[in-house]
């Protein structure tokens, strides 16, 4: 409870199990993520409750200076969890220089988070920054403002608002260019959304390769105009 920053942060670890935990931080507290999994393999997060001020679960693998370790986050299963009041329920990035793959999120409930799935990346994360095989299934979202959000122009870091990072025109593909491959969503119900159903913004020079949505239902809150203005 009431951590000053990220609450649980496994780093360079294998066979991580986080079971039946409750992580509680004030809803207005900055950077109080629930669990930040960074450069880990074979991760299971099951039966947990998150009520935090920032991201509930974030999957990361470092900034580009960490790519020399080539330590991705892979094979992560998140299930039977309740995630409330954070910026994102399950977030990938933005520090993904070694890649994130093989993520399976299922049988969870997201309540009143800003986003359901959130992918954050940007130019400068590097060619090893490959986000692939991300699957969401059997999810209930209630009051999630934007259920599905992918942003390849994330603006953090000292150069986050630079011309190189933020220019919407195609840039040369280099060893600093990240990629997003396959995202799959199935059997997901989203009620009381207020901003948008989905927002996918890829890089013009390296587009998102595949987005699959099957049996996904989104309905908006009755007072959506007031919620957006607020």
Which secondary structure element, helix H or strand E, spans residue 37, and what is its range? strand 35-38
Does residue 191 contact residue 219 with C-beta atoms inside 8 Å? yes
Name the token pair of 14.
């294998």
Q: Of 33, 55, 87, 132, which is the active-site residue?
A: 87
d(CA 204, CA 194): 28
Name the token pair of 73.
């986050």
d(CA 89, CA 205): 29
Phi/psi region, residue 225 (left: phi>0; alpha: psi -120 to 50; beta: rest), is: alpha
Transcribe 93-105 into DSSP letters: ES-BTT-EEEEEE
Q: Of 51, 54, 114, 132, which is the active-site residue?
A: 54
Is there a catalytic annotation at residue 9? Answer: no
Contacts with 160 (C-beta within 8 Å, 6 or more apart), sequence order = 122, 154, 166
Is residue 140 helix, strand or coil?
A: strand
Is there a catalytic annotation at residue 54? Answer: yes
Active site (catalytic) residues: 54, 87
């Amino acid at each position: 409870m009431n951590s000053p920053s990220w609450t649980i942060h496994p780093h360079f670890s294998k066979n991580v199990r986080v079971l039946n935990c409750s992580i509680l931080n004030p809803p207005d507290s900055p950077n109080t993520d629930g669990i930040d999994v960074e450069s880990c393999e074979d991760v299971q997060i099951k039966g947990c409750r998150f009520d935090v001020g920032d991201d509930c679960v974030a999957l990361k693998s470092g900034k580009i200076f960490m790519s020399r370790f080539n330590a991705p986050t892979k094979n992560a299963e998140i299930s039977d969890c309740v995630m409330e009041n954070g910026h994102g329920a399950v977030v990938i990035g933005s520090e993904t220089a070694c890649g994130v793959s093989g993520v399976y999120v299922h049988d969870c409930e997201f309540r009143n988070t800003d986003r359901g799935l959130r992918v954050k990346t940007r130019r400068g994360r590097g060619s090893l920054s490959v986000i692939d095989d991300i699957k969401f299934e059997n999810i209930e979202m209630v009051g999630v403002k934007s259920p599905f959000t992918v942003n390849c122009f994330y603006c953090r870091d000292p150069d986050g608002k630079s011309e190189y990072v933020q220019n919407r025109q195609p840039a040369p593909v280099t060893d600093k260019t990240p990629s997003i491959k396959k995202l799959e969503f199935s059997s997901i119900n989203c009620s009381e959304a207020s901003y948008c159903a989905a927002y996918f913004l890829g890089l013009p020079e390296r587009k998102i390769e595949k987005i699959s949505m099957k049996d996904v239902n989104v309905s908006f809150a009755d007072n959506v105009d007031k919620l957006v203005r607020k």
